[in-house]
Amino acid sequence: MGKIAFVFSGQGAQYSGMGKAMAEASPAAKAVFDMADSIRPGTSQQCFAGTAEELTQTVNTQPCVFTVDLAAARALEERGIHPDCVAGFSLGEIAALAFAGVLSDEDAFKLVCKRGELMDAAAKANPGAMVAVLKITPEKVEQVCAQFAQTYPVNYNSPAQTVVATTAETAGAFCEAIKAAGGRAKLLPVSGAFHSPFMADAAEGLAQYMEGIDFADPQIPLYSNYTAQPYAGDYKKLVRAQVENPVRWQTITENMKADGVDTIIETGVGKTLQNLAKRTFDDIKAYKVETPEDISSILNA
């Protein structure tokens, strides 16, 4: 029998009402929302009834998505489904840190709140744009990026999907260059150029904040966005590095599979990671868990 991986969603699929059904149905999920509200009052209300504009602000998105991600994982655990390893996409890695026992839920939530504040400030100080590139290889995307200043591949998502960070002024010309190279480009509705040198100030601020936090060893393997390998060495350095460096999600998925994972369960908002797993491997079982009905479907499967 193969291994199970929990993967924690990143920002982008958030919506008003997320997590509400799970919080109402699962005591373990509700405990996560209660924890979030005790530290950052109003987090549950933002998740359950926040406006789209409110939820797309990074300072709100990150703590809210973290809470929904971790609540879904705790609800799965409550029903007897336990992973052999975990990973999280971007901010999802902070939820994975909590689930793997590297940080307490409280410290992880405080960390993601600080991360959101710092990345929001960096985005305002160093405005940028992000472009999703489809239908061409990461290597081809890198070649096009090399033609432009301050243009970086930042999310290696699948063999045919790479996200690029650049300046707002360069985005239009970059999209045209991608089309000329045979790809498809889509400007993303985000507030900053994340996982790139545009976030250097946020990474430094996060490193300073983490000086006062204790990190424990993971209780199960936790794959790093920065290295695509299980956490080893200086954990705080890995958390800092992922803010200003690419997310190597395709390689994480490949490494998980090489390590025996045959089932990936995305916990949290949306089904982006579920879909990426299916696009990367034809023979992997991939599910998403956001609602009580999703858990029932997995138990039946």
Domains of the chain: 3-125+196-300 (3.40.366.10), 129-187 (3.30.70.250)
Helix (H, G, I), strand (E, B) or coil at 195: coil
For residue 192, pLDDT beyond 90: no
pTM: 0.94
Mean pLDDT of 62-89: 97
For residue 191, pLDDT beyond 80: no
The dihedrals phi and psi of 261, each to the nearest 5 degrees, come to: -75, 130
Percent of the chain exceeding pLDDT 70 equals 100
- Are 169 and 207 within 8 A, CB to CB? no
Alpha carbon distances (Å) from 224 to 60, 87, 218: 24, 7, 12
Percent of the chain exceeding pLDDT 90 equals 90
pLDDT of residue 98: 98
Mean pLDDT of 66-93: 97
For residue 290, pLDDT beyond 70: yes
pLDDT of residue 49: 97
Edge-to-edge order in the sheet of strand 261-267: 222-223, 85-88, 3-8, 261-267, 285-289
Q: Quick one: how many helices (H) and strands (E) in the chain?
A: 14, 9
CA 210 remoteness from chain centre:
19
What residues contact 75, with CB distance under 8 A and at least 6 apart? 22, 25, 26, 28, 29, 289, 292, 295
- Are 50 and 16 within 8 A, CB to CB? yes
75: tokens are 């609800």
Helix (H, G, I), strand (E, B) or coil at 286: strand
Lowest mean pLDDT among 16-25, 74-83, 185-194, 204-213: 185-194
For residue 1, pLDDT beyond 80: no
285: tokens are 């079982």
For residue 206, pLDDT beyond 70: yes
206: tokens are 């996060």
Calpha distance 75→231 (Å, rounded): 25
- Are 156 and 196 within 8 A, CB to CB? no
Calpha distance 194→202 (Å, rounded): 10
- Are 150 and 166 within 8 A, CB to CB? yes
Count other Cβ atoms within 10 Å, centred on residue 2: 12
What's the pLDDT tens digit per position in 227-262? 999 999 999 999 999 999 999 999 999 999 999 999
What residues contact 206, with CB distance under 8 A and at least 6 apart? 111, 114, 115, 118, 239, 240, 243
166 forms bridges with which residues in the sheet? 129
Return the active site residues. 90, 195
Calpha distance 294→278 (Å, rounded): 18
CA 173 remoteness from chain centre:
28
Mean pLDDT of 128-148: 96
Radius of gyration, CA atoms only, the chain: 18
Lowest mean pLDDT among 86-100, 105-119, 266-280: 266-280
